[in-house]
Amino acid sequence: MRGLLFIAFVWVLQVSAQSKYDYYMTTGISLDNKGKSQLAVLYFDSAINLNQNSEQPWFSRGIAKVHVKDFSEAVVDFNKAIYIQPNLEDAYLYRHIAYRQTENFQFAFGDINTYLKLKPNDTIGRNYRFDLSLLLEEWDQAYEDLKWLSRLGEATYANRYIKFSAAMEQSKAYDALARYVEQLMNENPTNKNFRVTLIYTQIQIGKWEQALKNANIMLLDDSENLELLKIKADALFYLKRIAESEKIFLTILERNPMDANLMADYGHCLLQLNKWESADEWLTKAIRDKNGAPAYAYLGRGIARYNLGKVGIACADWERSLYLGEKNAKIYLNNFCKESVTVDGANSNK
């Protein structure tokens, strides 16, 4: 009889403990969903105290800690949950988020890869890995995910493609970008965005004849496209067909007179044609209007001014150009300027 009573007592305790555990878990999840994540952590603490061998309270507390931005501690909880249940898919997804927030990007990349091995058709995971691949310059993986995500629709795909190509351009991975874009064009030869990117990339890697040929093909159907005209002008410039390039740049400037970058490019065209006064004028406009490559503009303006006999202010321009990072300016300073020139910021834009 005593044995039966003891067994019954133990069973009641177990039921009571399970009830408390369920209550703590249910309440914690509800609080976290309502945005009361700090309070939810306390309930998950109680659940863990009752059952440390279940992955769920560790996992749930990790999510709550992510929500309160306690990312390092969240990683610890996800580690425990994964140790208990190695195939807990979402634990890898959330730990990847925590790792990213603590800038442990390689660990995050490993986790998102594991997650997608377990759930290869998960769109959220693919998006996360696509963005992280761009950050880590894992171009092959980014390209694979870009292709997979293309099924989500044309507009969504176009935005990702822009992000993909922009990241590679920023990292100057032009050879790889050209390879990927050629593959995309083979699959979709009518896509104008692919062809424009390819032409721009060909300019960057020195395939100027190919860039000019592709630009001319596209201009047959879109002769007023300023972006294509700019690419054609660049190709002609690099092919030393400067007079043709100058005409196109002038045409574009007539339609877009406030573009400081175009002013700078046009000014460098004029330099190649030895039109020193006009080059000085346009490069000065570009500098005043804050073109995107001021160091190069100062370098060019210095060349124009030197050839106009204005040695002092030419040297000042080269000094400013060198200060802004244009290494070639040092050659001009060494060859044509006897003394170091100090540039006054107020005078440098004159």
Burial class from Cβ neighbours inside 10 Å (0-12, 13-18, 19+) for residue 20 reads middle
Q: According to the model, what pLDDT value does residue 96 have?
A: 98
Q: According to the model, what pLDDT value does residue 190 have?
A: 81
- At 84-120, the pLDDT tens digits run 999 999 999 999 999 999 999 999 999 999 999 999 9
Q: How far is CA 151 from the centre of its chain?
A: 22
**In contact, 219 and 232? CB cutoff 8 Å:** yes
Sign of CA dihedral 174, 177, 183, 185: negative
Q: How far is CA 4 from the centre of its chain?
A: 69
**Angstrom distance (rounded) from CA 331 to CA 115:** 54
- At 43-86, the pLDDT tens digits run 999 999 999 999 999 999 999 999 999 999 999 999 999 999 99
**In contact, 231 and 199? CB cutoff 8 Å:** yes
Domains 16-120 and 258-350 share a fold: yes
- Measure Cα distances from 144 to 56, 129, 172 in Å: 33, 10, 20
Which CATH code, of 1.20.140.10, 3.40.1180.10, 1.25.40.10, 3.30.2130.10, is assigned to 16-120? 1.25.40.10
Q: Going by C-beta distance under 8 Å and a sequence separation of 6 or more, which residues neighbour residue 73?
A: 65
**Angstrom distance (rounded) from CA 135 to CA 114:** 18
**Angstrom distance (rounded) from CA 157 to CA 44:** 40
Q: Going by C-beta distance under 8 Å and a sequence separation of 6 or more, which residues neighbour residue 168?
A: 139, 174, 176, 177, 180
Sign of CA dihedral 136, 141, 144, 145: negative
CATH number for the region 258-350 comes to: 1.25.40
Residue ranges per domain, the chain?
16-120, 258-350
Q: According to the model, what pLDDT value does residue 339 have?
A: 60
Q: What token pair was written down for 171?
A: 């990292």
Q: For the chain, which residues score pLDDT lower than 50?
A: 1-15, 340-350
DSSP per position, 266-304 = HHHHHHHTT-HHHHHHHHHHHHHTT-S-HHHHHHHHHHH
**Angstrom distance (rounded) from CA 337 to CA 3:** 105
**In contact, 282 and 308? CB cutoff 8 Å:** no
